[in-house]
Amino acid sequence: MTPLADLPVWAALLTGFFLILGSALTLLGSVGLLRFRSFYERIHAPTLGTTWGTGGVLIASIIFHSVLQSKPVLHEILIALFVTVTTPVSLMLLARAALYRDRSEGNDGVPPFEVAAESQDKQRRSSGA
Amino acid sequence: MSALLPYPLLTASLLVMWILLNGLSIGQVILGGVIALAASLAMAALQPAKPKIRRWDMIPQLVLTVLADILRSNIAVAGIILQGGQHTRTSGFVMIPLELRDRTGLAVLACIITSTPGTAWVEYHAGSGRLRIHVLDLIDQQAWIDLIKQRYERRLMEIFE
């Protein structure tokens, strides 16, 4: 007998739903990574996997283990927390590196760094006048 | 707080993490408490800037808003991917002038913007407080500026500043 036989139907349905939701979103994120054309578009796709993709699988895991062990199993929350906190670090590194390279190579479609200073000057001039 | 508890929030979080990982029992609470205390004293040696949270009551509301927004943009981005190449869509950079200066607030904002599919934090200019984000489905620049400022920045300023 597998432990699955002890699982009530409602819990099995909920677990299945969240598991499929999470894995479907992660799969879609990976498809997006493949399909999008530019680097800056591509960095959006994997966030599907790191947010509700991970979230769905974790919720399924919480329901499954909590029902089987008849006590709340919540350490999955820690995974969600650490994924959320660490994703921006790698994403910012990648995005800034790409921006730096595109600017040094003079590629199209990338805003220049000086825009910040320029528009500030403009603002200062208009407020002074 | 006192020299014994330099970072009460960090100590409490470490203890909660220990209990979540090891189960709730008296022995684990004591062991986790000792480890949390030792770790936060070690942290004190690094002297990080201590975040001040002024409005605890606003945090649950912000968390719920963000979770709902993330779910909504998950669906939106999944839709964009499913539509594939047939749909014409423009992505682009948006510059947002931020008034938020608190470091912890900015870190939380970075987590929110990054975690929301469809928006990505690209660069932040600390001198002028200008943030540049990349938006996957860009229709109206001003709408994005208003969204970030009204929805997140205002609340983060109330919580942290």
ipTM for this model? 0.76
pLDDT for position B1? 47
In chain B, residues with a C-beta closer than 8 Å to the C-beta of A39 are: none
Q: Which of B84, B95, B117 sits opposite A48 (nearest CB)?
A: B117
Nearest CA in chain A to B97: A116
Over residues B64-93, the mean pLDDT reads: 83
Q: With beta carbons less than 8 A apart as the criterion, state whether B35 and B14 touch.
A: yes
Cross-chain residue pair A111–B132, CB shorter than 8 Å = yes
Hey, is the C-beta of A80 within 8 angstroms of any chain B C-beta? no
Q: With beta carbons less than 8 A apart as the criterion, state whether B65 and B151 touch.
A: yes
Q: What is the pLDDT of residues A40-67, one digit of tens each?
A: 888 888 888 888 889 999 999 999 988 8
Out of A10-24, A81-95, B63-77, B83-97, least confident range: B83-97
Distance, CA of B42 to CA of B30 (rounded, Å): 18
Q: Closest Cα of chain A to B2: distance in Å?
A: 28
In chain B, residues with a C-beta closer than 8 Å to the C-beta of A93 are: none
Hey, is the C-beta of B118 within 8 angstroms of any chain A C-beta? yes
